[in-house]
């Protein structure tokens, strides 16, 4: 009995209830099916958001749009799913912005280290003019971008030793997303970056192909990385957004009323997913500690050491990303900080 209770407590993450669906039924012609694929597993905050999206769209279309969810990269990783949207063989996906930088170079701005000191500052940028413009820019190349979500603040894990300064990273093989700026971050800190798709990551960690990786607490737990990584450091070094994408081929078949319904549902999903992710973040960090992971929390001074060491990364990428965009975002962040 005691064993069962303990198992239940560590296995299940308490998800907040799904909100009620508000808004009238949307009247339009036709029946549609949406296959919606993501890379994280069923027990993550991202999937919870998708369940809300499904509920909104199915209820408000009176069942004329059916949404089917495919978590855990079963239909492909971020890049493969995005290509499938372009080809018209998959209707929706919600990747991190980072693997898409070759398609949309401005997305690299979100890979800059320590850009958003607080999540609300990311919200201010993504929900404001800059975020809107980026959704419009990303609505090309066979894709329609209809909203933002939260992947969140990234934390470092590894199998070798506690890390509380860049010196401890010397020689560690760290898996990064397929993104040059992320590779630059880890190289600058003294580690050996190895870019790899998220779908291959658990096996690579398990087999020791790489020593470590970095992702938000919720992903570390929902992907069971703690089973193959003994050490973690709360670095909060990058805030990664998710972007909600629809296949343009599918989008063009939808009546305008349903396009609007998808846009509304994507906004609601994004807001709810942020809530879930932020509500669960500390609880999950605690769960990971309870499960035996050794978690290093850094002092402000220790964080400063990482920040100072990473200053060259800003210089290296300024021209590539566009200095104007970086400055606009930093101004926004400062305004949000002053409020």
Nearest Cα to Cα of residue 252 among 266, 262, 240, 243: 262
DSSP β-bridge partners for residue 153? 239
By beta-carbon proximity to ligand TF8, the closer residue of 95 and 131 is 95
Here the tokens at position 246 are: 């629809």
DSSP for residue 111: G
Task: For the CB of residue 94, give the shortest distance to ligand TF8 in the complex, in Å.
Answer: 8
Query: What number of helices (H) and strands (E) belong to the chain?
Result: 13, 11
Contact mark string toward ligand TF8, 119..158, x via CB under 6 A: --------------------------------x-------
**Using CB under 6 A, which of 153, 198, 258, 272 touches ligand TF8?**
198
Applying CB under 6 A, the site for ligand TF8 has a residue count of 12
CB-based contact 234:155 (threshold 8 Å) = yes
By beta-carbon proximity to ligand TF8, the closer residue of 233 and 240 is 240
CB-based contact 233:220 (threshold 8 Å) = no
Task: For the CB of residue 205, give the shortest distance to ligand TF8 in the complex, in Å.
Answer: 12
Here the tokens at position 109 are: 């701005």
**Using CB under 6 A, which of 43, 82, 159, 215 touches ligand TF8?**
215
Task: For the CB of residue 309, give the shortest distance to ligand TF8 in the complex, in Å.
Answer: 22
CB-based contact 228:159 (threshold 8 Å) = yes
By beta-carbon proximity to ligand TF8, the closer residue of 101 and 336 is 101
Contacts of 130 (CB under 8 A, 6+ apart): 325, 328, 329, 332
By beta-carbon proximity to ligand TF8, the closer residue of 188 and 213 is 213
Distance, in Å, from the CA atom of 156 to the CA atom of 250, rounded to the nearest integer, reads 38
Q: By CB under 6 A, tell whether 78 contacts ligand TF8.
A: yes
CB-based contact 237:114 (threshold 8 Å) = yes
Distance, in Å, from the CA atom of 103 to the CA atom of 100, rounded to the nearest integer, reads 5
Task: For the CB of residue 215, give the shortest distance to ligand TF8 in the complex, in Å.
Answer: 5
* Near ligand TF8 in 1-40, by CB under 6 A: 38-40
Burial class (CB in 10 A: 0-12, 13-18, 19+), 306: buried
Task: For the CB of residue 241, give the shortest distance to ligand TF8 in the complex, in Å.
Answer: 10
User: Three-class SS of residue 151?
Assistant: strand
* Near ligand TF8 in 257-316, by CB under 6 A: none
Contact mark string toward ligand TF8, 223..262, x via CB under 6 A: -----------------x----------------------
Nearest Cα to Cα of residue 154 among 199, 212, 204: 212
**Using CB under 6 A, which of 71, 95, 193, 241 touches ligand TF8?**
95
Give the CB-nearest residue to ligand TF8: 39
User: Three-class SS of residue 142?
Assistant: coil
Task: For the CB of residue 100, give the shortest distance to ligand TF8 in the complex, in Å.
Answer: 10
By beta-carbon proximity to ligand TF8, the closer residue of 65 and 205 is 205
Q: Which residues bind ligand TF8 (CB under 6 A)?
A: 38-40, 78, 95-96, 151, 177, 198, 215, 219, 240
């Amino acid at each position: 009995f005691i064993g069962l209770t303990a198992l239940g407590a560590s296995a299940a993450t308490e998800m907040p209830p799904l909100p009620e669906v508000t808004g009238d039924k949307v009247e339009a012609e036709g029946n549609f099916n949406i296959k919606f694929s993501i890379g994280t597993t069923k027990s993550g905050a991202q999937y919870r958001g998708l369940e809300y999206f499904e509920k909104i769209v199915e209820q408000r279309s009176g069942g004329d749009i059916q949404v089917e969810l495919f978590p855990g990269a079963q239909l492909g990783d971020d890049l493969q799913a995005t290509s499938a949207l372009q080809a018209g063989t998959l209707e929706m996906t919600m990747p991190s912005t980072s693997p898409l930088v070759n398609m949309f170079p401005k997305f690299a701005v979100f890979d800059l280290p320590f850009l958003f000191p607080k999540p609300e500052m990311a919200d201010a940028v993504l929900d404001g003019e800059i975020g809107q413009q980026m959704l419009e820019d990303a609505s090309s190349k066979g894709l329609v971008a209809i909203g933002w979500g939260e992947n969140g603040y990234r934390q470092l894990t590894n199998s070798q030793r506690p890390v509380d300064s860049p010196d401890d990273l010397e020689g560690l093989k760290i898996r990064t997303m397929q993104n040059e700026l992320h590779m630059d971050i880890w190289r600058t800190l003294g580690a050996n970056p190895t870019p790899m798709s998220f779908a291959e990551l658990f096996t690579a960690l398990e087999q020791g192909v790489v020593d470590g990786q970095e992702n938000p607490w919720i992903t570390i737990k929902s992907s069971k990385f703690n089973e193959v990584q003994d050490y973690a450091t709360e670095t909060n070094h990058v805030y990664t957004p998710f972007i909600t994408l629809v296949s343009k081929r599918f989008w063009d078949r939808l009546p305008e009323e349903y396009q609007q319904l998808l846009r509304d549902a994507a906004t609601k999903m994004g807001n709810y997913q942020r809530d879930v992710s932020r509500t669960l973040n500390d609880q999950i960090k605690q769960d990971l500690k309870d499960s035996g992971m050794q978690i290093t929390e850094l002092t402000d001074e220790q964080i400063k050491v990482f920040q100072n060491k990473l200053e060259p990364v800003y210089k290296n990428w300024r021209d590539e990303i566009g200095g104007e965009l970086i400055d606009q975002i930093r101004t926004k962040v400062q305004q949000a900080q002053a409020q």
